[in-house]
Amino acid sequence: MAKIGFIGLGNMGAPMARNLIKAGHEVQVFDLNQHVVSQLAEEGATACKNAVDVTVDAQFVISMLPAAKHVQQLYLGENGLIECLSQDTLVIDCSTIDAASAKHVGETLESKGISFVDAPVSGGVAGAAAGTLTFIVGGDDAHFEAVKPILENMGKNIFHAGAMGAGQVAKICNNMLLSILMAGTSEAIQMGINHGLDPKVLSDIMLSSSGRNWTLELYNPCPGVIDSVPSSNNYEPGFMVDLMAKDLGLAMEAAQHSGSATPLGALSKNLYTLLQNQGAGKQDFSSIFTLFEKK
């Protein structure tokens, strides 16, 4: 069993840390939100007062933070963890951030002998709770082999995408596609409703037809079709519109850097920005369904 530091106990981080505790690891946790730190402590974690305490004797430090600025600040900012991490610690950043920032943080840590992989995830809050996440790892072979058994406590599929930063590129390709599928599924169901179809029946038909996709199967955006998904719970996240809009910004940067044509990704980014501008930033991203509603 390993001693693991975990920083960032939000919608994703808390259930991920819980699975490490269940697997028998010694987990020391920190979040700016003290309430969730206390909750995890009741479930067997060691509560830490700050991020530095999390690193003490840790073989692995895992971070699950909102965006690149938080990751940069945590590791490289004022009083950053780079000053206190030991060369025996392997850092695993699971946040979704741009590949350039991941490489910058990783290379700066590695220049001090501290090992790093980027390991963003897919599978949502339900996957985090069930321990069935997909991890997409960027880093060298030895580091990948070292982190795999730890990640297997939180996920079902552990992929090695390539060198440092490659995990983030693969993740952003996936999320661009997910945003397009969610928008497309939403407009199709709304059109069906506008013609008097039952959204549950229509969803079942499309699930058995060529329109089948992950959002229809596991995350239907229409309230009442699937119990226990955000759309059936007032679009409580889940995965916030703000985070999807951030990811689409990263996707557009990645497209520009590589000269890739991503017209549907660009349209999707605009749709999610529109949703943000309507005040839905903190709602689940499946609330894009409401954009297509005929009032």
Catalytic residues: 171
Supply angle C-alpha 152, 45, 284, rounded to 5. Answer: 65
**Minimum Å distance from CB 64 to ligand NAD?**
5
**Minimum Å distance from CB 223 to ligand NAD?**
18
**Minimum Å distance from CB 136 to ligand NAD?**
10
- By C-beta, is 175 or 190 nearer to ligand NAD? 175
Helix locations, 79-165, DSSP H: 99-110, 124-130, 141-151
Smallest Cα–Cα separation from 247: which of 268, 274, 230? 268
Smallest Cα–Cα separation from 151: which of 131, 122, 173? 131
3-state secondary structure of 122: strand
Place of tokens 């220049």: 111
**Minimum Å distance from CB 240 to ligand NAD?**
6
Alpha carbon distance 263, 252 (integer Å): 10
Write b or e for each residue in 7-43: b if 16 or more Cβ atoms lie within 10 A of its Cβ, otherwise e: bbbbbbbbbbbbbbbebebbbbbbbeeeebbebbeee
**Minimum Å distance from CB 84 to ligand NAD?**
14
- By C-beta, is 125 or 164 nearer to ligand NAD? 125
Give Cβ neighbours of residue 223 (< 8 Å, ≥ 6 apart): 231, 232
Smallest Cα–Cα separation from 62: which of 32, 84, 37, 30? 30
- By C-beta, is 202 or 247 nearer to ligand NAD? 247
Q: Are 203 and 216 in contact (CB under 8 A)?
A: yes
Binding site for ligand NAD (CB under 6 A): 7-13, 30-33, 51, 64-66, 70, 74, 95-96, 121-122, 124-125, 238-239, 243
- By C-beta, is 125 or 225 nearer to ligand NAD? 125
**Minimum Å distance from CB 162 to ligand NAD?**
19
- By C-beta, is 114 or 182 nearer to ligand NAD? 182
Q: How far apart are the first and last CA of the chain?
A: 56
- By C-beta, is 12 or 176 nearer to ligand NAD? 12
Output the residue with the shortest Cβ distance to ligand NAD: 10
